[in-house]
């Protein structure tokens, strides 16, 4: 690998996206000979094979890991930029590739091991054969009982239980587009997504265990249906899985002719076999809603062939999944990580994928390590927030258990080097190789990561671009920021890749504007080189080719590895009649990375009160969910604004994080800044210059 050059960047005043960043260059760590000896990817010519001269045909290598009903004729079609088409002419079924094709060799092997949260409930293993039987019966139910057909959308609002991937795979078998909404989102959030996707059917569950309690989940279906209706979408069937078949765990009444228990209806379809529908490679496989810069979440539309090829290839090479492995990704299937790296990627490779129902620290911080020991998990995948949480709650716990990870992943947020080192030394027992994978909901799979058997690891850095992904850094004017310059900029991807979303559901313009407008060199060009993908993350590129991700440059806050739009939270605040204006900013949190902090000003004549505070909190929890709960809600006399009336969120972010507010003399009301600072920080404010880049620049880039 390239030699390390010390990066003593000079601090200058921040200018737009190009900011000097200084950090200590970390030492490299190397994978063990034992890991390399068994790794899937050890061919040092991989980057040659995937270099630009071989693009796009290099991606055949991933697509060839799948079984196609019909081989494609065009690997990449660029005739309608930036709506790229992959493996055109190909026909494939995702469910067949994740289930049926493994039956010959692996029918008796565990496909999924479900670990219930209550520790006295033993783990349940589902073999590939059993998965096949369950998926087929449910597919028959969806087709014949729910009257769903290829191309229909279905909203799935479920917790971490095996019935969730079973439902997704049954949809995929029929070419029904699933839209899984994270179980922790509120009923309202679910309803808005159901309406946007035009779902006629909602699949949900009565309840599930979380932190030792049974959560009543069906109750939120009622709210979801009302909200969807207000938005013009009628959901006329609700299919309800029961956590314990035959026993209804919700207080919410069943509505006759609308609500059905899946376990009851399924009896009629038991043993049925449904032929997988041969889908065009470009047919949508699923939607995954994510937060963006406006209040409305966008439905990221993923294609069948390209997506499946990309997650399979990256699961094999980067996750190093072999069929013999017991692989545990602790993410929730309701996020993209779970779709790509709990369900589709691992199952396409015939792995055993572990699904854990509950919270990692229940009943104590030793739980994940007990699970790992009991199931003999050898690949572990989680987020920096979970790592920080487990370290805080029990730094020595991993030492008490006899498990052995060969491989570990960190994903979702930047990881602090000292947290990385605890992960490596204590969780990984210095045996496990670590990959820090950078990517987004829109990307389908990893964009930057080290190749575990080939590249050294560097704590805090995601690593180089993946094979066939050519990332680079651009400043606000579109000039490339050079490697080793110590300057931050916007990380972009030069080229299309098979895992990128097709579009935003129902909103082609938003897709173009969000990802391609900013740096498009020529809107009439059909050459992909003119269409770099804008990721909305700040990053620095070291001279060794490793990217260090600094965080979002737009109005998105990464809370515990989950993306929340500040505009969504602000809209929720504004539904409280007393609130005149609202601003949401990120504040640094020791465990969760960032959490939202809320500033509201009230309608003229109103005084701040606990009542208004509570109303704002309730509005956020019901409209979005508890994950969006702010650290603090400040009721302020006024908001700092520019003379043109623009609300200065950057100034509020600086106040919340004890940072210098910078030049405020051009504001319309600079005195407000002092008042607000005093309210938040007290009489003698402490303002420091250094803070994380995303917080320092918050609100500076559109
Ligand atoms: C945002 C995407 C894709 C997996 C889960 C999150 C941040 C993601 C890393 C990483 C630093 C990271 C970025 C990105 N992010 N991975 N390894 N290091 N930051 O998906 O909800 O779409 O969020 O998460 O800011 O834009 P998501």
* Coil vs helix vs strand at 493: strand
pLDDT (0 to 100) of residue 14: 39
Q: Which of 315, 318, 439 to mutate to test the pocket of ligand 1 (most atoms within 8 A of CB)?
A: 439
CB distance 414 to ligand 1 below 6 Å:
yes
C-alpha 473/C-alpha 52 separation (Å) is: 17
Which residue's alpha carbon is at the smallest distance from atom 1 of ligand 1? 440
C-alpha 110/C-alpha 421 separation (Å) is: 32
Contact 157, 164 (CB under 8 A): no
Query: Which atom from ligand 1 is nearest to the alpha carbon of 551?
Result: 25
pLDDT band per the 50, 70, 90 thresholds, residue 537 = very high
pLDDT (0 to 100) of residue 628: 94
Between the CA of 250 and the centroid of ligand 1 the distance, in Å, is 35
The C-alpha R_g of the chain, in whole angstroms, comes to 25
Between the CA of 548 and the centroid of ligand 1 the distance, in Å, is 12
CB distance 413 to ligand 1 below 6 Å:
yes
Which residue's alpha carbon is at the smallest distance from atom 19 of ligand 1? 413
C-alpha 378/C-alpha 372 separation (Å) is: 8
C-alpha 58/C-alpha 63 separation (Å) is: 10
Give the tens place of pLDDT for each residue, 379-388. 999 999 999 9
Tell me: cis bond preceding 82? Omega within 30 of 0 counts: yes
Give the tens place of pLDDT for each residue, 622-632. 999 999 999 99
pLDDT (0 to 100) of residue 292: 77
Contact 351, 322 (CB under 8 A): yes
C-alpha 616/C-alpha 576 separation (Å) is: 6
CB distance 503 to ligand 1 below 6 Å:
no
C-alpha 626/C-alpha 225 separation (Å) is: 20
| Position 17 pLDDT exceeds 60 | no
HEC string of 643-679?
CCCCECHHHHHHHHCCECCCCCCCECCHHHHHHHHHH
Mean pLDDT over 242-263 rounds to 97
Q: What are phi and psi of 647, to 5 degrees?
A: -70, 125
Give the tens place of pLDDT for each residue, 271-323. 999 999 999 999 999 999 998 777 789 999 999 999 999 999 999 999 999 99
pLDDT band per the 50, 70, 90 thresholds, residue 20 = low
Between the CA of 332 and the centroid of ligand 1 the distance, in Å, is 14
Give the tens place of pLDDT for each residue, 103-141. 999 999 999 999 999 999 999 999 999 999 999 999 999
Contact 17, 490 (CB under 8 A): yes
> What pTM did the predictor assign?
0.94
More confident residue, 686 or 424: 424
Which residue's alpha carbon is at the smallest distance from atom 23 of ligand 1? 440
HEC string of 404-423?
CCCEEEEECCCCCHHHHHHH
Those residues with Cβ within 8 angstroms of residue 610's Cβ, 6 or more apart along the chain or in another chain:
none
pLDDT (0 to 100) of residue 22: 59
C-alpha 290/C-alpha 97 separation (Å) is: 27
């Amino acid at each position: 690998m390239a030699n390390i050059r010390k990066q003593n960047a000079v601090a200058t005043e921040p200018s737009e996206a190009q900011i000097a960043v200084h950090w200590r260059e970390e030492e490299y760590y190397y994978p063990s000979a034992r890991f390399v000896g068994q790794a899937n990817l050890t061919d040092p010519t991989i980057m040659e094979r995937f270099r630009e001269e071989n693009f796009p045909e290099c991606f055949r290598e991933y697509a060839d890991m799948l079984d196609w009903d019909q081989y494609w004729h065009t690997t990449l079609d660029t005739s309608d930029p930036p709506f790229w088409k992959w493996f055109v002419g190909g026909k494939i079924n995702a469910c067949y590739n994740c289930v049926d094709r493994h039956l010959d060799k692996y029918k008796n092997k565990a496909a999924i091991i479900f670990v219930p949260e209550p520790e006295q409930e033993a783990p349940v293993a589902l073999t590939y054969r059993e998965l096949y039987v369950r998926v087929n019966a449910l597919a028959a139910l969806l087709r014949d009982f729910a009257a769903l057909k290829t191309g229909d959308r279905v909203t799935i609002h479920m917790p971490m239980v095996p019935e969730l991937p079973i439902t997704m795979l049954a949809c995929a078998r029929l070419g029904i587009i699933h839209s899984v909404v994270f179980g922790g989102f509120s009923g309202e959030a679910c309803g808005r997504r159901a309406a946007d996707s035009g779902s006629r059917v909602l699949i949900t569950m009565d309840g599930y265990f979380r932190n030792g309690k049974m959560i009543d989940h069906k109750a939120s279906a009622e709210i979801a249906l009302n909200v969807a209706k207000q938005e013009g979408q009628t959901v006329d069937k609700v299919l309800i899985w029961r956590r314990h078949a035959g026993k209804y765990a919700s207080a919410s009444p069943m509505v006759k002719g609308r609500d059905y228990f899946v376990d009851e209806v399924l009896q009629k379809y038991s043993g049925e076999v449904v032929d997988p529908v041969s889908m065009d490679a470009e047919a949508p496989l699923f939607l995954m809603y994510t937060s963006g810069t406006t209040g409305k979440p966008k439905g990221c539309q993923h294609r069948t062939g390209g997506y499946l090829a990309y997650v399979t290839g990256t699961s094999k090479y980067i996750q190093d999944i072999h069929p013999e492995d017991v692989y545990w990704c602790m993410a929730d299937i309701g996020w993209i990580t779970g779709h790509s790296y709990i369900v589709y990627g691992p199952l396409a490779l015939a792995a055993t994928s572990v699904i854990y129902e509950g919270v990692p620290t229940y009943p104590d911080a030793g739980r994940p390590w007990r699970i790992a020991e009991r199931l003999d998990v050898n690949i572990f995948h989680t987020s920096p927030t979970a790592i920080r949480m487990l370290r805080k709650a029990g730094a020595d716990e991993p030492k008490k258990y006899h498990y052995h990870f060969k491989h570990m992943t960190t994903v979702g947020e930047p990881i602090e080097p000292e947290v990385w080192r605890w992960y490596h030394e204590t969780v990984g027992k210095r045996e496990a190789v670590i990959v820090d994978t950078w990517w987004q909901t829109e990307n389908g799979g990893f964009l930057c990561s080290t190749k575990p058997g080939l590249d050294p690891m560097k704590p805090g850095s995601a690593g180089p671009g993946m094979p066939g992904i050519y990332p680079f850094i651009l400043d606000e004017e579109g000039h490339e920021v050079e490697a080793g310059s110590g300057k931050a900029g916007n990380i972009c991807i030069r080229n299309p890749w098979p895992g990128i979303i097709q579009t935003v559901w129902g909103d082609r313009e938003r897709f173009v504007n969000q990802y391609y407008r900013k740096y498009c060199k020529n809107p009439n060009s059909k050459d992909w080189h003119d269409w770099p993908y804008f990721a909305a993350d700040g990053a620095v590129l070291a001279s060794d080719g490793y990217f260090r991700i600094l965080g979002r440059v737009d109005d998105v806050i990464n809370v515990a590895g989950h993306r929340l739009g500040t505009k969504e939270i602000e809209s929720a605040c504004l539904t409280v009649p007393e609130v005149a204006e609202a601003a949401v900013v990120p504040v640094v949190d020791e465990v969760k990375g960032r959490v939202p902090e809320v500033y509201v000003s009230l309608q003229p004549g109103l005084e701040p009160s606990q009542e208004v505070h509570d109303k704002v909190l309730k509005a956020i929890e019901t409209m979005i969910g508890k994950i969006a709960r702010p650290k603090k809600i400040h009721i302020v006399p006024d908001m700092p604004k520019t003379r043109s009336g623009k609300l200065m969120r950057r100034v509020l972010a600086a106040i919340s994080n004890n940072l210098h507010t910078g030049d405020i003399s051009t504001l319309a009301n600079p005195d407000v800044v002092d008042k607000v600072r005093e309210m938040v920080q007290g009489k003698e404010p402490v303002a420091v210059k250094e803070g994380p880049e995303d917080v320092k620049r918050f609100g500076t880039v559109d």
